[in-house]
Amino acid sequence: MDCGPVSLKMIAKFYGKEFSLDKLRSITFTTKEGVPLLAISEAAEQIGFKTVGGRLTFDKLEKEALLPCIVHWDQDHFVIVYKVKHKGVFRKQSKVFVADPAYGLISYNEEAFKEHWISTKSDGKDKGIVLLLEPTPAFFKQEGQTENRGSLKFLFGYFKQYKKFFVQLFFGLLLGSLFQLIFPFLTQAIVDTGIANKNVGFIYLIMLAQLVLTVSRMMVNFTRNWILLHISTRINISLISDFFIKLMKLPMSYFDTKLTGDILQRINDHQRVEQFLTARTLNTLFSFFTLIIFGIVLWIYSFKIFLIFIVGSIVYVLWITIFLKRRRLLDFK
């Protein structure tokens, strides 16, 4: 729904000016159905662009169009074309680089781009809709309107009152990591001392120690998860309550331009932010500590095994990163 104002915002930023999305929504008269290309053109002229809209062939877009430009996508969306690599000896088709407000930066070959862009056929040629934008001196003279980005300070305000609980979580994290560090050495003691010397009493003693450590670790994890649940619930309630209070103060015109799904999505976004800053961050920290601890243990036992462990961990991280990018692209398509 906001693809038009967002596209205009991105092009303005490309030329060195940043405008708030709220301002661009207001001057494009964004509704629940979105915004027409004419409204984007008129809004662009208001902030200092010279615009020309029309239908172009791909050859014209590739060779003559001023980039970046806005193109009509799949008959119901707007994206920005910011670069085109021409076909050559080693490239059979031109490559088009697109900034999609719904996804981000993505590239298409010529054939795939045409499938999304071409809307009509006139004079025997396939054509798509384009809005070309060129900044005028008036664009550079005006002041940009930056958005207020105090989101981090705003969010950390909800965490200040739970400092004591976060200290407890940190100590629980250290204690759980310490228990994990002790286990390999206890196992070594059973094999090297207990079994080698056939000392059954020593084996029982170490097994009892392992049992105590296991129970202790379970208790620490239970306490840590309970504290985390307590903090998460309180923060989530505070976030949602403040969101509803702010929502109730908005004028009715705001709801005329928003779909019900957009408002529900914002509520879900609050929960995702809370989970990211509490549970996911803590789990990431715990995994990082575990990686360091077992790395130290492997270093003590064998430097070669430690190197294999490090290389394997790096390959694993790279694989996950590549997979997530691929999954994000598949979800988008």
* Distance, CA of 214 to CA of 217 (rounded, Å): 5
Coil, helix or strand at residue 135: strand
Give the pLDDT confidence score for residue 257 in this predicted structure: 65
Query: What kind and span of H or E run contains 175?
Result: helix 163-189
CB 61 within 8 A of CB 114: no
Give the pLDDT confidence score for residue 1 in this predicted structure: 62
End-to-end CA distance of the chain: 18
Q: What are the start-end ranges of the E strands in 31-122?
A: 49-56, 69-73, 77-85, 95-100, 104-109, 118-122
Give the pLDDT confidence score for residue 52 in this predicted structure: 92
β-bridge mates for residue 135, sequence order: 49
Give the pLDDT confidence score for residue 232 in this predicted structure: 80
* Distance, CA of 206 to CA of 136 (rounded, Å): 79
Could you identify the residue written with the tokens 């996508």? 73
User: Which of 102, 114, 170, 134 has the alpha carbon at shortest distance from 11?
Assistant: 134
Interstrand relation of 77-85 and 125-135 (parallel, antiparallel or unpaired)? unpaired
With 0-12 / 13-18 / 19 or more C-beta atoms within 10 angstroms meaning exposed / middle / buried, residue 103 is middle
Give the pLDDT confidence score for residue 258 in this predicted structure: 67
Interstrand relation of 104-109 and 118-122 (parallel, antiparallel or unpaired)? unpaired
* Distance, CA of 49 to CA of 230 (rounded, Å): 52
Which amino acid, residue 162?
Answer: Y
Give the pLDDT confidence score for residue 197 in this predicted structure: 86
Torsion angles phi and psi, residue 243, rounded to 5: -65, -45
Give the pLDDT confidence score for residue 30 in this predicted structure: 73
Give the pLDDT confidence score for residue 152 in this predicted structure: 61
In tens, the pLDDT along 255-306 reads 766 666 777 777 777 777 767 766 777 777 777 877 887 888 888 888 888 8
* Distance, CA of 295 to CA of 214 (rounded, Å): 21
Q: What parts of the chain have a pLDDT lower than 50?
A: none
Coil, helix or strand at residue 127: strand
Domains assigned to the chain: 3-141 (3.90.70.10), 152-301 (1.20.1560.10)
Alpha-carbon 124 to chain mean position:
43
